[in-house]
Structure 1
Amino acid sequence: MNHLDILIPFGLPQAELARDLTRQCKAPALAMLLARSKNTHPPQNLDPFSRALPHEHWISRQFGLTAADGKDERSNSPPASAAILQAHGRQTMEGHWFVLQPAHIHVARDHLVLTDIGQLELDEAHSRRLFQSALPLFEEIGRTLIYIDAATWMMRADDWAGLRTSSPQAASGRNIDIWMPEGPGELAWRKLQNEVQMQWFSESLNEEREMRGRKPVNSLWIWGGGNAANTSAMSATTTYQAAFNLSGWPQALAPAASRQSASAPETILAATGERGLLMLDDLLEAGLANEWGVWLQRVEALDAAWFAPLLQALREKRLDSLSLILTGQDKLLHLTATASSLRRFWVKPSLGKLAAQA
């Protein structure tokens, strides 16, 4: 592997806590990489009300889902539905499809809040029960609903092609009024969503979940609308020969031949190809939940498990270069380190770039 892009969602901490966190953090390898890397791309301040998080927009561009110039990203979530259909063997599907994800919405003092979907822990059997419960409501209005996996269902709605939606991660922990769909079909969706919510209110499944200390599944989140035929350009657009540890919907973007799992850097270093992508999403859950003590612990764990070995590989020229793509709630920092940049001995290791950009 000659070059490795490392995508780190929520590698940039919350602005008001960033300086304190970087002072407390013991991550010497990351500090070396950050201090002696170069800004190969200008830091980006994104719209805080964009309908997807910075790492979601970035990965969409890398695999050709959205335009390379990033135009109009604020207005819609990444059109992930077509890639998900293709990844699950439904290449022959036609029409405009949306991703539907079972969700938990809770009542705050004066508004409704979407809980991080990744925390639902919805298993296959329970998800299928909810799917069968909701299915007649979709069939009554002529909507095709299909089951992909426990966390992912799909709905066809050709006449809603212009509906602007938000990714669940962008809306997570926030007032959902700001992130609800807008455009063709928005009122019809809200009516359908309300009917599903009422249907699930009486489900014994949710009582069972609450007895086990889990959140009830009380709603559906819609996002990712796209035409099922629009996957042909993805494989041709990406420059990655290997993509490691992609999770969630980004996993569907990489061609099956390039998707790999790596529990240690040696697997990546042994891979063939000019360019690889590694996703380290260990900080994502803590960032979405604003659990910055947990975030701190996980940065230090990543340093030992990943950054220290990769730093050594860079020094030994087993890796020509690596880029750190660090994102936050509305910021993105892209830095590149090489063996030669590491020789700048007069630059002291520091995590300061995380605080400067947060």
Structure 2
Amino acid sequence: MSDTTHLLIPYAASASPGCQQAQQGLALPHLDRLLTRLSPRPEHSDTGEETSFSAPHERALARALGLPAQDGRIPWAAWHRHQLGQPLDGEAWAFVTPCQWQVSTDHVTLRDPEQLGLDEASSRALLAIVAPWFAEDGITLHYDQPTRWLASGPLFANLATASLERVLQRDVRAWMPDVKQARTLHRLHSEMQMLLYTHAFNDERSARGLPMINSFWVYGTGPLPAPTPSAATAPTVLATLRNAALNEDWRTWASAWAALDAGPVADLLRRAEGGVPVQLTLSGERNALAFRSAPRTLAQRFQSLFRPQRFTDMRNKL
């Protein structure tokens, strides 16, 4: 159940020069007014690096749900299966996304799976092709969505993996799991590329003008802790900045921010002004900053009139 009094906004800022330029003319009046009414929550903020396997908004959401938030080991797949009411059988789980790796002389780039044109029938057909290879290494694959399967097996119990969002459109080599812990996955990557390169599955896709699928990405690994988290009211995650940020389309990103400010952020401001306790979490690619409404002293109120807390003053902290 989403909590409309707690908004979590991923990709609120970026250190990218294009984003920095887009922010210069970005006016977010409702966000600025809201921030003057909120107090920082350092204990719920998060500090990381752009090279962290788990993005700051993922770590923030995991903490809100009561899930482990260790970098690269947030058990999103097990949590997803639990939310569906499906048995976990005491296993560690992972997401597996079929994808295309574009290989050049100095990069191996993971293409966005949503651009591959996979439907349920073709995804299930591909799963049937590769499942026996995974099974030989104790990994069982289960269909979930066209661009995402579930996998279970002991390999995922303590394996840190980079989230799909971290590696989209980037060189996968910087985001591969530790070789010593993931020899099996590294070998499976090589085997899948050899298997699928000349497979009839890809021949048929090529005949229809669809991109080749030659690899996969594993993420969201781990078992659910015991006892299972109760899933207290989760924040509302506003993901409308995501695609523009990942594609570095900063003009679209700025327009999406303006729409968020005029919509959900303005609604949260009205709640705060009406005396409803509210929370806000802003996340970039490194850090997440948390805020909440809390009683303020007269001195704090007076100070906010002359030194208001604005998004422009904190965006470089994200």
The alignment's TM-score, normalised by the length of structure 1, stands at: 0.75
Aligned to 1:352: 312
Gaps of 5+ in 2: none
Residue 8 in 1 paired to residue 14 in 2? no
Residue from 135, 138, 150 that aligns with 2:134: 138
1:333 matched to 2:289? The reply is yes
Per-residue deviation, 1:110? 0.1
The match for 2:33 is: 32
Q: Tell me whether 1:66 sits opposite 2:22 in the alignment.
A: no
Q: Which amino acid aligns with 1:105?
A: W
| Letter of the 1:38 counterpart | S
Written as runs of structure 1 = structure 2, the 5 A alignment for 1:238-249 is 238-240=231-233, 243=234
> 2: CA distance between counterparts of 1:279 and 1:2?
9
After TM superposition, the structure 1 stretch with the greater mean CA deviation from structure 2, 183-192 or 344-353, is 344-353
Counterparts of 1:79 and 1:182 in 2: how far apart (Å)? Answer: 18
1:18 to 1:154, Cα distance in 2 relative to 1, 3 A: closer
2:295 and 2:200 map into 1 onto residues whose CA distance is: 59
Asked whether the 8 Å contact 2:94–2:156 carries over to 1, the reply is no
Query: Do the aligned partners of residues 160 and 40 (structure 1) sit closer, same or farther apart at CA in structure 2, a change above 3 Å counting?
Result: closer
Match status 1:323 vs 2:279: yes
- Of 178, 181, 184, 1:188 maps to 184
User: 1:49, CA displacement in angstroms?
Assistant: 2.0
Are 2:10 and 2:57, in contact at CA under 8 Å, matched by a contact in 1?
Answer: yes
Does the 8 Å CA contact 2:280/2:292 hold for their aligned counterparts? Answer: yes
Q: Is the 8 A contact 2:206 2:212 kept in 1?
A: yes
1:45 alignment partner in structure 2 = 47
Equivalents in 2 of 1:175, 1:41: separation in Å?
A: 33
Q: CA deviation at 1:213?
A: 7.0
- Of 57-66 and 115-124, deviating more is 115-124
RMSD: 3.2
Which secondary structure state, in structure 2, belongs to the residue aligned with residue 91 of structure 1?
coil
Aligned to 1:226: 222
For the 8 Å contact 1:82–1:231, the answer to whether it is kept is no
Query: Which amino acid in 2 is paired with 1:323?
Result: Q
Report the count of equivalent residues: 312
Amino acid at match of 2:273: R
Letter in 2 for 1:48: E
Conservation of the 8 A alpha-carbon contact between 1:133 and 1:199: no
Partner AA of 1:328 in structure 2? G
Q: Is the 8 A contact 1:8 1:327 kept in 2?
A: yes
My pick for the range that moved more, 153-162 or 304-313, is 153-162
- Provide closer, same or farther for how the CA distance between residues 166 and 154 of structure 1 changes in structure 2, counting only shifts above 3 A: same
Greater mean deviation of Cα atoms: 31-40 or 50-59 = 31-40
Instruction: Give the conservation status (yes or no) of the 8 Å contact 1:315–1:339.
Output: no
Check whether the contact 1:82–1:230 (CA below 8 A) recurs between aligned residues: no
Measured against aligned partners, the alpha-carbon deviations of 1:271-323 in whole angstroms (never above 9, x if no partner) come to: xxxxxx21101011122222211110100111222122332232233xx1322
> 2: distance between equivalents of 1:117 and 1:342?
49
- In structure 2, the partner of 1:255 is none
**Matching residue's letter, 2:162:** S
Tell me, in whole angstroms, the C-alpha distance in 2 between the residues paired with 1:23 and 1:342: 28
Residue 278 in structure 1 maps to residue 236 in structure 2: yes
Q: CA deviation at 1:348?
A: 5.5
CA distance in 2, matches of 1:138, 1:336: 46
Q: For 2:37 and 2:16, how far apart are their aligned partners in 1?
A: 22
2-structure distance, mates of 1:100, 1:2: 29
Structure 1 runs not aligned, ≥5 long: 68-72, 244-276
Q: Which amino acid aligns with 1:230?
A: P
Q: Hey, what's the Cα distance between the residues in 1 that align with 2:34 and 2:216? A: 41
Q: 2:109 is paired with a residue of what secondary structure?
A: strand
Equivalent AA in structure 1 for residue 229 of structure 2: M
Normalised by the size of structure 2, how large is the TM-score? 0.83
Contact 2:99 2:113 in 1 (8 A): yes
Q: In structure 1, what is the Cα distance between the partners aligned to 2:241 and 2:225?
A: 31
